Structure 1
Amino acid sequence: MELKIVKADWIFLLLCMVVGIIAEEAFFRAEIGISYLLFITAFYALFFYRYRGFSFSHQRFGYLILICIWILAASYFLNDNQFFFALNILVIPALVFFHLVVVTSQKNMRWNKPVFITYMFSRLGAALKYNFIFASLIGKVLRQGLDESKYQVWKKVCIGILISVPVLFVVLGLLMSADSQFERLIGGIPHWVQLINGEVVFRIMVVLFYTFAFFGLMQALIKKQINATMGDGNNQTFRFDAIITITVLVLINAVYVLFTIVQFKYFFSGSLQGDFTYAEYARKGFFELLFVTLINLSITILVLTFVDKTINFIKRLIQILLTALVLSSAVLLSSAFMRLSMYEEAYGFSFIRIMAHSFMIFLVVIFTYTLIKIWMEKLSLFHFYFISSLLYYTVMNVIDVEKMIVSKNIERYEQSGKIDIHYLNSLSYTGILGLIDLYEENKQLPGLKNMLVERKNEAKFDNIPWQSYNLKRVQANQELSTLHLE
């Protein structure tokens, strides 16, 4: 890779450093809140500045990913779900990298083919290579006019120092432990050395890491050095035998027919065999059914992708068997959904149970599309799976799952008089808002007043840095401050 440093590169490097400082301020100073949204704003301002006049590819798909990225970043400001907050630490950077690679790739490149993953890694490698070459060029610029022999000597001295530091760190520690007099001697190191602040050094390293990560990636992507051959994805050498596949599908479908008969007997006759209650029966089989459903989906995808269906009769038979498998999966999903609903009636609503419900609804969408794909072969599975998964994940971030949990549990309390206030208290600030609403309706609920007193005392000393600003947090603290606990 030939590289020439021009004035525009130095300006862009400086702007990357500014965004690197913003990243360090956003992520390493306090708990993440509105700071993520501000960082994404600064990052994409830098990106569109560098790529002004650039002809982007896959623009509609790119806009979809970009909107999802902004919504996920805004969730740190709007909601306070710790599960999604932790997950988005990985999801958002991955989506940003994927978005940049997609919109800067060649127009004929198909992102929904496996070979695109190879292209993404090649772009990451190109970014690292760009930074190494850029660093070497900076070194050449800095040593211009210097005696080459003296430069080599100082270079080797610096290398020797870097190698010695970790060894000296261990040796000094051992010697100081072995001899108190030596420890006092080392403790008498001049005061200016002790003034070196480890935190400042760490933050400088973080800023430099972000600076060169942004600089290398955006510079490498705009070069378009790699011309990957994406292919049409249809030249697959590995195939499942059609007869073996048909045999497997027949046997699996036979088992599901028997299971379906049992399910109809349980759920539509109003009786259960054995000594199980509905709640015990629900808890016993929910995850097993969900796992079997995912196995069915995997089998369907493998058959659609790798089975040779050149003979028309075999093709139709496989389509019928796959349709039966999808319909059997619908029965499994219905059974699992009913089991979970019964379990919630008995024990209340939780984050895991609500997410399981939503995931089953998502699987219904996936299976519906897969059923269409069985009979319309030109449709792309991965294309739909990726977009629907992205939309599902984004929607679950936006709708505030914990607020749904609180409202459902309060509704259950109004109907049955049962509620787990300790679980609501374990939720984030949305749970606190629910406890406040619950207290206003029933001040005599055991343990609720003491719980809110403790939360109110915590809110008095809750100093919110600008990075951590969150609407739910502010709302909860305001309502706690105005709450009169009798």
Structure 2
Amino acid sequence: MPAAETPDETPAPAESPATPPSRADPTETGGAGNPRDTEPPGAAPRPAAPSAIPTPRPAAPATGPSADSRAGGGGGVAVAIKVPPKPPQAGWAGPAPTPVSPMVIPALMRPVPLGPPSPTLFQRRWPRRTPAAATAALAGGLVTAIVAAAAVPLDRPGLGWPIAGLAMLVSLGVVLWKGGTGRVESFAWCAAALALLSVGAFRAAGWLFFLCLMAAFGCVALAVGRGRRVPALFIALINVPLAGFRALPWVAAGMSRLKGTGNNVVRLAASAGLGVLLLVVFGALFASADVAFDRIVDQVVPEFSAGTVVRWIFVGTVAAWLLFGAAYLVDSPSAVGDREPGEPRTVRRVEWLVPVGALLVMFVAFVAVQLTVLYGDRGYVMKTVGLTFAEYARKGFWQLLVVTLLTLVVMAVTVRKAPRGTVTDRILLRVVLGLLAACTLVIVGSAVKRMDVYEEAYGYTRLRVFVTAFELWLGALFVLVMIGGLARRARWLPRVAVALWVVTLLGLAGLNPDRFIAAGNVQRVAANNADVWYLSTLSADAVPELRKLPAGARECALSAISRDLYYDRDDWRGWNLAREQAREVAPRPVDVGDYPCYRRY
């Protein structure tokens, strides 16, 4: 019997299998809105709303008790209801994707943090230490730009070069001192640069001064660079102009900081402008009042033209660029190329000993031939090789020069790759490379001897004198290499090699090569065994010796030089001691005339 019902209660309607229950509100089902929480088992899945992700599921036949019995009603008959499966949707293949909660989608759209970016080369090896340039650097750049623009003659060696160099190097010395990084070595490199620039005030040979100018730039680079290894020395030459680019925001920040002292800067600028105005007004009045003073003013004050202004801007910009780059390197040193090489020993003892030992055997054989042939008498050379002594000397000089340079490369690679873990390895490396360097010294001596014999036969030229000096520098370099091989560490070797090259250039300037070449060819002209036309291309340094040539050859050699001396006068910027002395002894162009100059051998 069914249970009795009270009059106050109404029976709950039975849930019809054909009528699916209403879908629960997702907001009232715990937040997820999963249909499993609201739909009874066996119910057919509802089609998803257009904005929701479709979740079709296969319907299972309901085999359990009826709804009435599940609700607690007793005595009900259990009825099995079979629900037909829902037909698949058009274009749908495979199982439905797993529904994604709306709370998960914003999290997926957030950017995934990738960590801090990897540091650049500048940040690792060349970081900026201070955000703004100091007052000493700004003032030094301004002074260097003004002095260089007013003093440097771009077309010739002259007194203006060491004056501009002095202004730049003094400014750089102040920056070194203020920065607390001033070392005795840095000031020594600055002094060497000034000595090289001073060659322009004493020698008129343009090719020699160009070499000295490039060496002076290298000295400045080494004064502000701290690298000791060979790669760091080459990179130091690039760092100075590159630091000029990096110094632009650094200098701009320093100038912005100076604007805080606005009144002082304005007053200083007004004072400088007033001083220039007074010099112009009173200078013009004095020049118009006295002829001698007017001549001095004409020599000091250049002609104002578009070309002059462009030259001032160019020279001043380059000078300030180099000074700011050097000051930036003092403030923020670069360590690019100066990292310690670790342990790159990639070969075994036998792997380097076989090739280098074979090369050493060849060097010993060649040295034996050189000692018996080149240093023998001329008759033995002609009988042995079938050439004259001069032809034999000329034939092999350049090859020996290349051999010397390649030997340096071989020795450097061997030192880098050969193992040195045991005492035997170190002793073997020093002995083999020491013998190779000793044989190379003999080859250098052979090359110098060949060039000397060649110059005796064919005369002196600028190239022959320069390569002889270069060979002597290579010989001294191999001596340094042998000394460095005896030491445990030779970090001093690259910089000492550069210092040795500076000494070589200064010695070449002391030799006065153009005058030396002229003196060596004067006696050959009488024997008709000299190139007189080549002598006419020498600089004013050679005038005292060219005056000793016989008539005809003398006018030929001095015609071009005399025109340059008398028609192209120097002002104070281009004053040169050699040209002033040549003007005192050189004939006037009217006395020389356009003498026909022929090649004579």
- TM-score, normalising length from structure 1? 0.72
Q: Which whole-Å deviations, capped at 9, do the CAs of 1:96-127 have from their partners, x for residues lacking one? A: 2432x24xxxxxx6544745776886776665
User: How much has 1:30 moved relative to structure 2?
Assistant: 5.0
Task: Name the structure with the higher helix share.
Answer: 1
User: How much has 1:230 moved relative to structure 2?
Assistant: 9.4
User: How much has 1:470 moved relative to structure 2?
Assistant: 0.8
What corresponds to 1:259 in structure 2?
Answer: 366
After superposition, residues 373-452 of structure 1 pair within 5 angstroms as 373-380=484-491, 381-410=493-522, 418-436=529-547, 438-439=548-549, 442-443=550-551, 446-452=552-558
Q: State the distance in 2 between where 1:413 and 1:298 align.
A: 43
The partner residue of 1:83 within 198, 207, 212 is 207
Q: Which whole-Å deviations, capped at 9, do the CAs of 1:175-216 have from their partners, x for residues lacking one? A: xxxxxxxxxxxxxxxxxxxxxx86476346426624752674
Tell me which amino acid in the other structure corresponds to 2:248: N
What corresponds to 1:178 in structure 2?
Answer: none
Verify the 8 A CA contact 1:250 1:321 in the aligned structure 2. yes
User: How much has 1:376 moved relative to structure 2?
Assistant: 3.0
Q: State the distance in 2 between where 1:12 and 1:335 align.
A: 51
User: How much has 1:466 moved relative to structure 2?
Assistant: 2.0
User: How much has 1:140 moved relative to structure 2?
Assistant: 11
Verify the 8 A CA contact 1:333 1:360 in the aligned structure 2. yes
Higher relative contact order (CA 8 A, sep 6+): 1
What corresponds to 1:184 in structure 2?
Answer: none
What corresponds to 2:325 in structure 1?
Answer: 217
Tell me which amino acid in the other structure corresponds to 2:575: Y
Q: State the distance in 2 between where 1:482 and 1:352 align.
A: 30
The partner residue of 1:21 within 146, 149, 155 is 146
Tell me which amino acid in the other structure corresponds to 1:128: F
What corresponds to 2:219 in structure 1?
Answer: 95
What corresponds to 2:245 in structure 1?
Answer: 128
Verify the 8 A CA contact 2:149 2:315 in the aligned structure 1. yes
Structure 2: state its 5+ residue gaps.
Answer: 1-127, 260-304, 593-601
User: How much has 1:288 moved relative to structure 2?
Assistant: 0.4
Q: Which whole-Å deviations, capped at 9, do the CAs of 1:198-244 have from their partners, x for residues lacking one? A: 6476346426624752674366356x356859988352435443212
Q: State the distance in 1 between where 2:542 and 2:429 align.
A: 50
User: How much has 1:37 moved relative to structure 2?
Assistant: 0.9
Provide the secondary structure at the position in 2 that maps to 1:426.
Answer: coil
Q: State the distance in 1 between where 2:406 and 2:415 align.
A: 14
Q: State the distance in 2 between where 1:376 and 1:29 align.
A: 45
Q: State the distance in 2 between where 1:301 and 1:428 align.
A: 40
Structure 1: state its 5+ residue gaps.
Answer: 103-108, 143-196
Give the direction of change, closer, same or farther, for the CA distance of 1:14–1:345 in structure 2 (3 Å limit): closer
Tell me which amino acid in the other structure corresponds to 1:251: A
Give the direction of change, closer, same or farther, for the CA distance of 1:229–1:205 in structure 2 (3 Å limit): closer
Give the direction of change, closer, same or farther, for the CA distance of 1:70–1:243 in structure 2 (3 Å limit): same
Q: State the distance in 2 between where 1:14 and 1:344 align.
A: 52
Residue 196 of structure 2 corresponds to residue 72 of structure 1:
yes
Q: What's the Cα RMSD here?
A: 3.8
Q: State the distance in 1 between where 2:256 and 2:182 align.
A: 36
What corresponds to 1:160 in structure 2?
Answer: none
Give the direction of change, closer, same or farther, for the CA distance of 1:426–1:20 in structure 2 (3 Å limit): same
The partner residue of 2:566 within 460, 466, 470 is 460
What corresponds to 2:158 in structure 1?
Answer: 33
Verify the 8 A CA contact 1:127 1:219 in the aligned structure 2. no
User: What is the count of residue pairs matched by the alignment?
Assistant: 414
Give the direction of change, closer, same or farther, for the CA distance of 1:453–1:201 in structure 2 (3 Å limit): closer
Provide the secondary structure at the position in 2 that maps to 1:466.
Answer: coil
The partner residue of 1:307 within 415, 418, 423 is 418
What corresponds to 1:179 in structure 2?
Answer: none
What corresponds to 1:348 in structure 2?
Answer: 459
Structure showing greater radius of gyration is 2
Tell me which amino acid in the other structure corresponds to 1:63: F
Verify the 8 A CA contact 1:113 1:233 in the aligned structure 2. no
Provide the secondary structure at the position in 2 that maps to 1:468.
Answer: coil
Provide the secondary structure at the position in 1 that maps to 2:380.
Answer: coil
What corresponds to 2:380 in structure 1?
Answer: 271
User: How much has 1:252 moved relative to structure 2?
Assistant: 0.9
- TM-score, normalising length from structure 2? 0.60
Verify the 8 A CA contact 1:293 1:332 in the aligned structure 2. yes
Q: State the distance in 2 between where 1:261 and 1:122 align.
A: 46
After superposition, residues 281-292 of structure 1 pair within 5 angstroms as 281-292=392-403
The partner residue of 1:42 within 167, 181, 192 is 167
Tell me which amino acid in the other structure corresponds to 1:477: R
What corresponds to 1:325 in structure 2?
Answer: 436
Q: State the distance in 2 between where 1:396 and 1:289 align.
A: 22
Give the direction of change, closer, same or farther, for the CA distance of 1:375–1:427 in structure 2 (3 Å limit): same
Verify the 8 A CA contact 1:21 1:207 in the aligned structure 2. no
Calculate percent identity across the aligned residue pairs.
19
